[in-house]
Every structure is written in structure tokens, then in C-alpha cells.
């Protein structure tokens, strides 16, 4: 018996050895630059030690190549650093790259069926229906909400100043973005911007839990989806999901469904989608509907809150840029008159405000690498063809730090995004919202949430670093998160302008 077992073990070991030999030669055989892979983690030895965005920046800087081969554990994957190739993958050949590699499992339907994770054809079907939520008319109708919530930010800061309390901006902005998405998407009007608490905020606070265990869930979902089901990993924390389902069902019950009225928010659009499906004898599960509601909240609140936090922190250290933005806002406000509120179209025309936003998203794109999977065998260029099923990452954040496109990339220089200074080769080298049919569906909503918060706050206060504050580049990024975000609380001093 023993000799048989020993022989079997020897054969198994030999198989693993040969498989590893073949796997680890994958990129060398194709002449693609790469680092030697680790026998277990492949190229992912950085996980839970540093944020993936920094791995991507480092990869571009070290190799200076249009693409680099990596391994997600044992799976060869391609990181693309070239705008031309990015254009091909994200738009020209988008039909071959409709899906992301990431994914969750059948035991996690809310995580697996949402617009961000779901595959075609469900994805196209959903995307067509959900896009209607972001028309200009719908966004315009939200102006009152943005004005009200951004004024509440000022009330919040004023009460902090009165109480002589330090103001932590990461959570303050997350309170604000949770309120605006809660109201715009679900018609749920809450006061987290004023108080830091609300039913939706309870949900988003648990989304913000970046523990070691949550980190493992994200790692499996993004880099080893085959493992997700075995370990029952989840896209959203279970407690948040249960609570969110309860809140969602209560709102739906209270609101009901009127087939004759135009959907005014995401919830209406979702209910309409469900009823139309029933009429067409199609099946749409409650989980599919709830999954979309959950991902809009998750995708929307933290990205915008993180962006506002980094931007405010950078401006505290760049008084000249802050003053230019203030003067532009002041002039615009004076032109409008004291009783007139800014509208989205007006704010979109302010060059310096928008340059500051773009520069902040260049340095800190919350989702700086764009995940796709090649459905078929794909010819990347004359030298390289990748097999069907290869994960491909377009390294947007890496290109954002390429001095060829953005000289002195570590510096915060909003002027580079002023219309007169814009280089014409930036298409597909600058992609904070992604590109192509699978780009960010909430971009125009995010712009508005950010414009209103910034214009209201910076007209009212000067912002300074706290004494002995860390420089912006010293703020540690969250190492257990997949996306780029601060791993620590962020404080600034607000000083009222007369």
C-alpha cells in the first residue's frame, strides 16, 4: 500500500512542479516584461501590505513598458500601461472585454448580480435600464437636494468650530455622500450630514470596515473568484446587507408602485424594471433588484467622499490654488446674485474648480485600474496574443503618474488641467471614471455631489493643515482595501472667511 501512496504523491508533486514550470514561464515565453512570480501568490505578494493602486504605479514606473505580465496567484494576467492599447481594450474592442474578471458566488446574489460585478448579457440589459436615472433632467431635478445638503455641511463645520472640536473630513464627507445618494436613489431623507448618524449611514459605516477578514473577501472576489464560493466570501458585509434589505423593503412597501408615473429615482426605476419583467413573463428576483440598489450606494458614497477628502487635504497645503478657486467661485457667485443658487451647468463651466477636481482625481483615482477579461483569444499588438479568459487591467493610475503625460506627477498642479494647458494626448491616459461602455454610470451624479460640496465649503472657509500635520503624500492608503482611500482619519482646520 505504502509504495502506491508514495508513487501517487510523487506523481502529484511532479504534476504540480511541471504545471508551475509552465505557468511561471508564461510571460517569458511571450517576451512580456515581468517580475519573477511567487510560487503561491504569483505577483500578489503586496496584498494586505500595500494598496493595489501603489502596486500599479510601481509596476509602471519600474518597467516603463506598454504592458507588463503579472500572475494572480497562478493565473497569468496583463497590465496595460499604454493609452493606445487602453483605447483598443476599453472602446474599439469593447465587445471582447464586456465583463470584469472579478465576481462573487451563487451564495452571495447581492454581491454577484449587481451592475459592477454581473456579466453580459444581464449586464447590458441592466445598464440600458439604469442609465435612465442619470439624464440631465433627472440630475437637474436634484439641484435642491445638493444645495440643501451642502449647506448642512457648513452647519456641521460651524457646530464643530463652536464646540472647538477637531473636524474629521473623511467621515464628514461620507455622511454627506450617504445622505445625497440615500435621498436621490431611494427617496430616503436623512440627517447624517448634520448628525453623523442615519439608517443608511449605519449601512455605509459597515461598508467602510476594512478589516483583515474583509480584505480577504475582496482579494478573493477580485483576484481569485473561483475561491469565493468555497469560503462563502461576500461583496457586502452580511450585517450591512441584512440591514439594507430591511430598509429597502420598508421603503418599497411605503411607496408602492404606480405604473403610470415616470420613475423619479433609482428605486422607481428598479420597481418599473421588475413590473415590466413580470408583464413580459420574465423572471427578475428581488435579489437582482436589491443588488442594484446596494451597489449604487456602495459605488457612490465612498468614491465621492474619498475624493472630497483628498482634495480638501491637498488644498489645505496649496493655499495659492485654494485662493484661485475661491476667487473664481466668488466672482461666479457675484455674477449670479445673492439669492440665486449655482446650478450644475454653471459649475461645470468654472475652469479652475474643475481643474482642481481633475488634478485630485489624477493623483487619487479611487478605482485606478480597470478590470476586464478577454472573452476570446486577443491580439494585443504585433508581438503579443493572449488566450481567451486572460484577465486584463488597464493601469489608469499608473498612466496618471507618467511624466510623459503629467510632468512632475507627484506634485499637485491643477493648472495642468486648465483648457489652455491641456495636452491633446491625454485621452486614455487620464481615466478616473474608466472608459467605454463599462465606464462609471454615476459620473455625472458624482460631479454634482462634488461641485456643490466644494463650492459651498470653500466660499465660506479657508482650509489649513493642522499643526504638524502629515504632508499629503505621507497619508497612508488603506492596505486592506482594493480601491485607493486613506487608511487613517483626516483632519484640517476650517477658518471662516469673515
| Site of interaction with ligand HEM (CB under 6 A) | 115-116, 127, 181, 295-296, 299-300, 303-304, 307, 361, 365-367, 370, 432-435, 438-442, 445-446
Nearest approach, Cβ of residue 38 and ligand HEM (Å): 27
Nearest approach, Cβ of residue 365 and ligand HEM (Å): 6
Q: Which is nearer to ligand HEM, 108 or 435 (CB)?
A: 435
- 221 Cβ partners below 8 Å, 6+ apart? 102, 103, 104, 111, 117, 228, 233, 235
Task: Name the CA radius of gyration of the chain, rounded.
Answer: 24
Q: Which is nearer to ligand HEM, 34 or 126 (CB)?
A: 126
Q: Which burial class, exposed, middle or buried, applies to 471 when counting CB atoms under 10 A from its CB (0-12, 13-18, 19+)?
A: exposed
Nearest approach, Cβ of residue 134 and ligand HEM (Å): 8
Nearest approach, Cβ of residue 223 and ligand HEM (Å): 16
Q: What is the DSSP string of 42-105?
A: BTGGGTTTS-HHHHHHHHHHHH-SSEEEEEETTEEEEEE--HHHHHIIIIITGGGG-S-S----
Secondary structure of 209-225 in HEC code, one letter for each residue: CCCHHHHHHHHHHHHCH
Nearest approach, Cβ of residue 299 and ligand HEM (Å): 3
Q: Residue 384: enclosing H or E segment and its boundaries?
A: strand 384-386
Q: Which is nearer to ligand HEM, 301 or 352 (CB)?
A: 301
The HSE-up count of residue 165 (CA atoms within 13 Å, CB side) is: 10
Q: Which is nearer to ligand HEM, 444 or 462 (CB)?
A: 444
Q: Are 432 and 362 in contact (CB under 8 A)?
A: yes
Q: Which is nearer to ligand HEM, 278 or 443 (CB)?
A: 443
Nearest approach, Cβ of residue 396 and ligand HEM (Å): 7
Handedness of CA 294, 300, 301, 302 (dihedral sign): positive
Q: Are 201 and 175 in contact (CB under 8 A)?
A: yes
- Grid coordinates representing 355? 481643474
Q: In this structure, how many other beta carbons lie within 10 angstroms of the beta carbon of residue 348? A: 13
Nearest approach, Cβ of residue 273 and ligand HEM (Å): 15
- The response to whether 440 counts as a known ligand-binding position is yes
The HSE-up count of residue 12 (CA atoms within 13 Å, CB side) is: 6
Q: Which is nearer to ligand HEM, 27 or 123 (CB)?
A: 123
- Grid coordinates representing 207? 461598508
Q: Which is nearer to ligand HEM, 302 or 328 (CB)?
A: 302
Q: Which residues are annotated as a binding site for heme?
A: 440
Q: Which residues are annotated as a binding site?
A: 440
Amino acid at each position: 500500500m505504502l509504495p502506491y501512496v508514495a508513487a501517487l504523491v510523487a506523481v502529484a508533486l511532479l504534476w504540480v512542479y511541471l504545471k508551475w514550470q509552465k505557468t511561471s514561464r508564461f510571460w517569458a515565453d511571450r517576451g512580456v516584461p515581468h517580475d519573477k512570480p511567487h510560487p503561491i501568490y504569483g505577483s500578489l505578494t503586496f496584498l494586505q501590505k500595500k494598496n493595489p493602486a501603489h502596486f500599479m504605479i510601481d509596476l509602471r514606473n519600474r518597467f516603463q513598458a506598454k504592458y507588463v505580465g503579472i500572475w494572480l496567484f497562478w493565473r497569468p494576467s496583463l497590465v496595460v500601461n499604454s493609452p493606445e492599447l487602453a483605447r483598443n481594450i476599453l472602446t474599439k474592442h469593447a465587445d471582447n472585454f464586456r465583463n470584469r474578471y472579478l465576481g462573487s458566488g451563487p451564495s452571495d446574489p447581492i454581491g454577484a448580480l449587481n451592475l459592477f460585478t454581473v456579466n453580459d448579457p444581464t449586464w447590458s440589459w441592466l445598464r440600458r435600464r439604469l442609465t435612465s436615472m442619470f439624464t440631465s433632467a433627472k440630475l437637474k431635478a436634484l439641484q435642491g437636494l445638493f444645495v440643501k445638503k451642502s449647506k448642512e455641511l457648513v452647519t456641521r463645520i460651524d457646530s464643530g468650530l463652536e464646540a472647538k472640536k477637531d473636524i474629521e473630513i473623511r467621515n464628514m464627507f461620507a455622511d454627506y455622500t450617504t445622505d445625497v445618494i440615500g435621498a436621490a436613489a431611494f427617496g430616503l431623507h436623512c440627517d447624517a450630514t448634520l448628525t453623523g448618524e442615519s439608517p443608511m449611514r449605519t449601512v455605509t459605516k459597515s461598508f467602510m470596515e476594512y478589516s483583515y477578514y474583509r480584505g480577504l473577501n475582496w482579494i478573493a472576489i477580485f483576484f481569485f473568484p473561483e475561491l469565493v464560493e468555497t469560503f462563502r466570501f461576500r461583496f457586502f458585509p452580511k450585517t450591512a446587507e441584512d440591514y439594507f434589505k430591511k430598509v429597502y423593503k420598508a421603503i418599497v412597501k411605503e411607496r408602492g408602485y404606480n405604473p403610470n408615473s415616470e420613475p423619479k429615482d433609482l428605486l422607481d426605476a428598479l420597481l418599473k424594471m421588475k413590473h415590466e419583467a413580470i408583464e413580459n413573463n420574465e423572471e427578475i428576483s428581488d435579489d437582482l433588484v436589491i443588488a442594484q440598489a446596494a451597489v449604487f450606494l456602495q459605488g457612490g458614497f465612498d468614491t465621492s467622499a474619498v475624493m472630497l477628502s483628498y482634495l480638501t487635504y491637498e488644498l489645505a497645503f496649496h493655499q495659492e490654488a485654494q485662493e484661485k478657486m475661491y476667487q473664481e467661485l466668488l466672482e461666479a457667485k457675484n455674477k449670479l446674485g445673492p439669492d440665486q443658487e449655482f446650478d450644475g451647468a454653471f459649475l461645470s463651466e468654472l475652469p479652475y474648480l474643475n481643474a482642481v477636481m481633475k488634478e485630485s482625481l489624477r493623483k487619487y483615482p479611487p478605482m485606478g485600474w480597470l478590470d476586464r477579461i478577454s472573452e476570446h483569444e486577443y491580439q494585443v499588438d504585433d508581438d503579443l496574443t493572449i488566450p481567451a479568459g486572460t484577465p486584463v487591467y488597464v493601469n489608469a493610475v499608473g498612466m496618471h503618474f507618467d511624466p510623459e503625460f503629467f510632468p512632475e506627477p507627484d506634485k499637485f498642479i491643477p493648472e495642468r488641467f486648465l483648457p489652455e494647458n491641456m495636452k491633446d494626448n491625454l485621452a486614455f491616459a487620464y481615466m478616473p471614471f474608466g472608459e467605454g461602455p463599462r465606464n462609471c454610470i454615476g459620473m455625472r451624479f458624482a460631479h454634482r455631489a462634488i461641485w456643490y460640496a466644494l463650492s459651498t465649503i470653500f466660499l465660506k472657509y479657508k482650509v489649513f493643515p493642522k499643526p504638524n500635520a502629515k504632508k499629503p503624500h505621507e497619508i497612508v492608503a488603506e492596505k486592506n482595501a482594493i480601491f485607493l482611500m486613506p487608511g487613517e482619519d483626516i483632519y484640517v482646520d476650517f477658518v471662516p472667511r469673515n
